Structure 1
Amino acid sequence: MKGKTRSWWGWGNVEDAVAGTEGEELTRRTARMLPNADLTVHEAPALEVFGVGASRIKAPDALSALVSADVRDRLAHSHGQAFRDVVRALLGRLPHVPDLVVRPTSESEVVHVLDWCHEANIAVIPFGGGSSVVGGVEPRVGDQYTGAVSLDLTSMDQVLEVDATSRAALVQAGVLGPHLEEQLRPRGYTLRFFPQSFEFSSLGGWLATRAGGHFATHLTHIDDLTESLRVVTPSGIVESRRLPGSGAGPSPDRMFLGSEGSLGVITRAWVRLQDRPRWRAGASVAFAQYDAGVRAVRALSQSGLNPANCRLLDPMEALINAGSATAVLVLGFESADHPVDAWMDRALELCRDHGGTLDEPARYTESTGRAARTAAADAWRSSFVRMPYQRDALAARGMIVETFETACTWDRFDAVRAAVDDAARDAMRQVGAEGVVTCRFTHVYPDGPAPYFGIYAAGRWGRTVEQWDEIKHAVSGALIAAGATITHHHAVGRDHRPWYDQQCPDLFAAALRAGKKVLDPAGILNPGAVLDPLPTA
């Protein structure tokens, strides 16, 4: 990302935004799918449109070098990267802006910031890469605080120690994905954790949101890669012991994983590393019937083969992102220890048992560089990286382009898919947005998949946020009613709270609130995300 400029309103880098022939082709493809869509392009407004006021608070002199009151900086830290965030920025509607952005460079400075905010009743919103899609970094905290600061940890970005014997590393929480891998690569290691947000998200963000990586099976959640955590809270520091496993009571790590900065600020972690892969295999399998593809993936998930990639796209998703007219399974294996030919061969045998066909043979490579790829896998990987940029471009053209991700057991999948499809289509009719619903699997487990539903609809410019909110509300209710989770890997934030509160057992929620009262007695840490703000004295 060196030499590039982060967008203050949308995804990624300004220089990488959709433009030229890519934008023209995107518009043509969308017009073919939704011929009645008004695809007029709308540009981001000038910063002055937002009317950002002066900061209500002033940092202590000892912290002044860490503080930014710049309007562009504050606006960039006022929202995440969900569809509704991007559109609100394009419309000039960002009402919740932090008073200051604070960038500590050490844990002691984090302690100092929390001490100041605790005493001054200032809300603190921990901020990594800012890629939240659930309102997790938005300072929407109510009026009971004297102000709000965005605590940007990206200056704390170093690998502090590598234990080669145990194959683990001590890493500061603010490091973004590419810089983490840059530091591990010379030693031959990788964290092997690549969410779609990899380039613009941080280790601390992954930990705080219990993020899921790109890999479909085995060590795919950040939980699986966490050896221990160190967390700063307003009441003191919590550090868990480095262990490969322990049965000594409830896990302190599990308490903070997924807490979204509401219980403390993760400053560093010991994480489990992997040797960099040497052997890879890739294949693209077509299924004339989507249900046959689902059965094949279930067989794969229960086979113990543990593919690195097992991404099933329904026909509409495959058409939009891979140019295929049938359901497509993007399948891959990799290993640092041994060739994976036998694993791929057996996986393809399972796929053929369920009617799967290959347009081209599987590819097997041995290298330390580029992963094995097929033409379809290449197309998918390219579209996977470009999706957020294209989402922004379509949002600027009045389209509603957003996703729901969930997880359910295999026996419930058909009912969950039908419930989501019905709820989304009905909601689109209600709000007057003609569109399509797609589905793909991002992760699979022996007992169930993680379906990822996409909405592509023609909205009405100026009303697309409200239209999306209606669709979101309908589908979220359908997910909970069908027994699925409100989120598999996108966290709770503020946007998922109504449905998370239905999913979370009441007594557990009460215990969580009690824990927050101990760790954060003034209730300053990310109020409203996961937990409501604590009542003021």
Structure 2
Amino acid sequence: MAAAAPTRRDADRTRSWWGWGYTDAQPDDAECAALGALLPGTLSRPLPVPRVADLSMGRPAVTPPTSLTHLVTADPVERAAHAQGKAYRDIARALRGRPARLPDLVAHPHCDQDVADLLHWAGEHQVAVIPFGGGSSVVGGVEYRGDAHRAVLSLDTTRMDRVLEIDHTSRSARIQAGALGPALEDQLRPHGLTLRHFPQSFEFSTLGGWLATRAGGHYATGRTHIDDFVQSLTVITPAGTGTSWRLPASGAGPSPDRLFLGSEGTLGVITEAWMRLQQRPRHKSSAAVAFADFGRALDAVRDIAQSDLAPANCRLLDPGEALLAGASRDGSSILVLGFESATAPTDAHLEAARDLARAHGGTTPPHDAPGTPKPPDAPGAPSPRNASTTAVDAWRSTFLRMPYLRDGLARMGAVVETFETATTWDRLPALVDAVRTEIGHAAQKATGHQATINCRLTHVYPDGAAPYFTVAVAGRPGDEVAVWDDIKAVAADVLHRHRATITHHHAVGRDHRPAYDLQRPNPFALALQATKDALDPHHILNPGVLID
């Protein structure tokens, strides 16, 4: 069954080329100054918002053939907006007038044949091709580094954004990879269905980006990654196009889908996927539990993860994270629990999870947090005016607003960034302690200022969890990127020594390459390199990501 064409949400709003989200949602100068006042040592006034007109922008080094000119643009704003992702170092470079190398051209293919034609031309003319979805990468995954190619083409897939077909019997849909999160859900909603994959970047990221980076989404337990929803992929490579069979499961050798999930655009361009859908949930329940001791909170979360309750949300905020989110003011850690179902009430499951938490000293937090109205089903959707302001609501609201606040602090010269990982439960407490201690020392050494280091658990499993760290410290004026690079190098070393992955869901990109090279087994690296050579013989696809 064919689905309706996507609706264009927020068509009259302007995306920021240098920062997160929409320009009209960015903090103004007064809010930036107020944020900076919370972090001693920041600038006295915010850095100006950068302008495309101030960038040094040469002429494109190549000219596409007339058969492709309708797909390609050299517009300065497009080139600037496609030069890099949305990591802190991207924001800081743009604010100082030093963004990543601008692509020579930006392409907007409409169909698979357009993609194949663009790859063919690029291969013949030594043009690097950087697949680009919503541009929300925080690991250097959509920028070009080096000078091995004649020119750079950013291949933006967002005009390939339709739900092409829905199979109600098998409850799945064939979806073009350029569909942004809101457009995807808008097309499924009339059918009572949902993909229900809501990463923090939901508004500004695409299905193809989720697949190429193995994104983590809505569920804190169980189906935590986009991998769990994939039924089949269509991928276009310089060596040809392949589509895997639609199957509920298969034991026929290594999975072809697994080869491209997490390939980050370096092996091929994902253009379509059959995705497993769900009925929209009708029953939901949520609660917050407070803990005076973070260690006991970890024990409670482990018990819940090892039960058969499978909460949709099971996120633990340490005292600093809880204070930042407005979920706690008294130094407590806050556990945010949520359950949902399309078929049955969830209150009993919620109460059982709360009982497990209470057994480890969990209590009900005071409901005086200064939260804002609770967003409904999907991140980024308008909030109801009369919603409550509990600790859960406060966390949800801050979760969605945080990238904008990060940009505001960056304008004040602060270094504010996150990194995430995953490790087993037996290693987790020592890892958290080491991160706080060693990153704290590194930040103090690099800046002369004391850093704020917060931790939350974003996803939990029976055998381990994914801690997510936030670092905030006043930077060295004009040298903020170098400060973060020094801190991040220490973080990578800590993770490696504690056998924690360099990334649970942010991907590898270019920023995580050194740590990724240490983590992966050498025979696998050899196989990956051979695959790259076979599928991309001219080495034009996202050079430098995953492999040389």
Q: TM-score of the superposition, structure 2-length normalised?
A: 0.93
1:15-49 deviations in whole A, cap 9, x for unaligned?
11123775465345x1xxx3343352001233233
The answer for the alignment partner of 1:340 in structure 2 is: 346
- Residue 76 (structure 2) pairs with residue 61 (structure 1): no
Task: Show structure 2 runs of 5+ residues with no match.
Answer: 1-9, 368-375
Instruction: Give the distance between the partners of 2:148 and 2:337, measured in 1 at CA.
Output: 51
Kindly provide the amino acid, as one letter, of the partner of residue 12 in structure 1: G
The 1:58/1:68 distance shift into structure 2, 3 A limit, reads same
Q: Aligned ranges for residues 407-486 of structure 1 at < 5 Å?
A: 407-432=422-447, 433-486=449-502
Q: How does 1:31-50 map to 2 (within 5 A)?
A: 34-50=39-55
Q: Which residue of 2 aligns with 1:310?
A: 314
1:219 Cα shift?
1.4
Say whether the 8 Å CA contact 2:327–2:390 is kept in structure 1. Answer: no
**What is the CA–CA distance in structure 2 between the aligned matches of 1:138 and 1:449, rounded to whole Å?**
30
1:305/1:347 contact within 8 Å kept: yes
Query: Do 1:189 and 1:273's aligned partners in 2 also have CA atoms closer than 8 Å?
Result: yes
For 2:263 and 2:169, locate their aligned partners in 1 and report how far apart those are by CA, in whole Å: 31
- Paired residues for 1:509-524 under 5 Å: 509-524=525-540
**Could you report, residue by residue, the CA deviation over 1:434-459 in whole angstroms, capped at 9, with x for unpaired residues?**
21111000000000010001101111
Residue of structure 2 in register with 1:205 after alignment: 209
Pairing 1:223–2:227 present: yes
The answer to whether 1:329 aligns with 2:335 is yes
Deviation string, structure 1 residues 396-427 (Cα, Å, up to 9, x no partner)? 01111101100000000012112212221121
Quote how far apart the aligned CAs of 1:304 are: 1.4
Partner of 2:57: 52
Q: What SS class does the counterpart of residue 26 from structure 1 fall into?
A: helix
User: Is the contact made by 2:321 and 2:456 (CA closer than 8 Å) also made in structure 1?
Assistant: yes
State the AA in 1 paired with 2:432. Answer: R
Distance 1:373 1:240, change over 3 A: farther
Residue range with higher mean Cα deviation, 318-327 or 6-15: 318-327
The residue type paired with residue 61 of structure 1 is T
Q: C-alpha distance in 2, partners of 1:396/1:36? A: 13
- After alignment, is 372-381 or 154-163 more displaced? 372-381
After TM superposition, the structure 1 stretch with the greater mean CA deviation from structure 2, 211-220 or 309-318, is: 211-220
* Residue of structure 1 in register with 2:131 after alignment: 126
Other-structure match for 2:357: 351
Aligned partner of 1:96 among 76, 98, 101: 101
| Partner of residue 516, structure 2 | 500
Q: Deviations over 1:52-74 (max 9, x none)?
A: 10000111111101111011110
User: SS where residue 84 of structure 2 aligns?
Assistant: coil
Distance in 1, Cα, partners of 2:30 & 2:350? 37
Secondary structure of 1:270's counterpart equals: strand
Q: Aligned pair 1:488/2:504, yes or no?
A: yes
What SS does the aligned partner of 2:352 have?
helix
Q: How far apart are residue 521 of structure 1 and its match? A: 0.8
Alpha-carbon offset, residue 241 of structure 1: 0.5
Corresponding residue for residue 370 of structure 2 = none
In structure 1, what is the equivalent of residue 166 of structure 2? Answer: 162
- 1:386 and 2:401 are equivalent in the alignment: yes
- Distance between the aligned counterparts of 2:121 and 2:41, measured in 1? 54
1-structure distance, mates of 2:236, 2:500 = 33
1:476-526, Cα deviation, whole Å (9 max, x unpaired) = 111011100000000000000000000011110100010111111111100
Q: Which residue of 1 aligns with 2:80?
A: 75
**Distance of 1:399 and 1:488 partners within structure 2:** 25
Partner Cα separation in structure 1 for residue 96 and residue 515 of structure 2: 27
How do residues 136-155 of structure 1 correspond to structure 2 at under 5 angstroms? Answer: 136-140=141-145, 142-155=146-159
| Secondary structure class of the residue paired with 2:470 | strand
Letter in 2 for 1:316: G
| CA apart distance, 1:51 | 0.8
Check conservation: 1:214, 1:442, Cα contact below 8 A.
no
**Which residue of 1 is the match for residue 259 of structure 2?**
255
Alpha-carbon distance in structure 2 between the residues aligned to 1:204 and 1:167: 20
Structure 1's 368 and 52: CA in aligned 2 closer, same or farther, altered over 3 A? Answer: closer
CA contact (8 A) 2:438 2:490 kept: yes
- SS class of match (2:67): helix
The farther-off stretch of 422-431 and 102-111 is: 422-431
Work out whether residues 36 and 43 of structure 2, in 8 Å CA contact, stay in contact via their aligned partners in 1: no
Using the TM superposition, give the Cα deviation of residue 2 of structure 1 relative to its aligned residue in structure 2, in angstroms.
2.1
Report the CA distance between 1:218 and its aligned residue: 1.6
1:171-191: CA deviation from partner (whole Å, max 9, x where unpaired): 000000000000000100110
Across the aligned residues of Structure 1 and Structure 2, the Cα RMSD in angstroms comes to 1.8
Q: Count the aligned residue pairs.
A: 523
Distance 2:488 2:506 in 1: 14
Q: Which residue of 1 aligns with 2:287?
A: 283
Whole-angstrom distance in 1 between the partners of 2:100 and 2:131: 19
Post-superposition offset of 1:139? 1.6
The structural deviation recorded for 1:359 is: 3.1
Q: How far apart, in 2, do the equivalents of 1:207 and 1:422 lie?
A: 35
The letter of the residue matching 1:210 is: R
The Cα offsets for residues 452-474 of structure 1, whole Å up to 9 and x where unpaired, read as 01101111221111101100001
Aligned match for 1:267, one of 245, 260, 271: 271
CA distance in 1, matches of 2:342, 2:361: 31
Q: Does 1:405 align with 2:420?
A: yes
Aligned match of 1:14: 23
User: CA offset at residue 113 of structure 1?
Assistant: 0.3
Three-state SS of the structure 1 residue aligned to 2:427 is: helix
State the percentage of identical aligned residues: 55
- Supply the distance in 1 between the matched residues of 2:48 and 2:434 (Cα, whole angstroms): 36
Q: Which residue of 1 aligns with 2:5?
A: none
C-alpha separation between the residues in 1 aligned to 2:31 and 2:284?
Answer: 31
Once residues 540 and 131 of structure 2 are traced to their aligned partners in structure 1, the CA distance between those partners, rounded to angstroms, is 11
Q: 2:299 matched to which residue of 1?
A: 295
Cα drift, residue 341 of structure 1: 1.2
Deviations 1:356-392 (A, max 9, x none): 001369xxxxx99989976111111110110000000
Q: Distance in 1 between matches of 2:118 and 2:388?
A: 47
Residue 120 of structure 2 corresponds to which residue in structure 1? 115
How far apart, CA to CA, are the structure 1 residues paired with 2:446 and 2:187?
Answer: 49
